[in-house]
A and B are shown apart, each in its own frame.
Chain A
């Protein structure tokens, strides 16, 4: 089955710097790659996603890139702010019988942004 690896497990940056989180996946049939932000005790919130027919997607300070050949995708956060501090999860999924199947998650990256 699909396996998603995520690095680093912890990341500390200064406010205003950029942060990059990387994930790899194993199953070439995966075609959807969302990123979730989870604050302590809260629900995972979808912040950006990308499909396999797109190489890059940007939304204000957040961008995601996908390399299908290498089976890896990355989250880029620019001009980080203290409120970006949270745990970030990457995930992958594939079509399942005419709909989209379950998400396979990475183990998460704890991002700390120091003022």
Chain B
């Protein structure tokens, strides 16, 4: 089944404790992206990747890191999480950036 998976789905952590949210797709897509969704602010792009080893900042990259060592995986790293990073996070992928995007199920992160 073609899909985008994210793990974990739910996470409660404390300020400053490094964490990684994994994202994997099995559709051989070139383009992958991370978004956060916040009430009143909608969906905002954090980072995106046009292909392996190519990543770039979206609209809200501060406090996040990403890497794209393999085509299928695009982990989101929070080196020192803070409460303002409490949010619902979505990973998405598409064949190319101009193509239909497929979203993962979301990761709800709470930083205390």
**Are A and B genuine complex partners?**
no
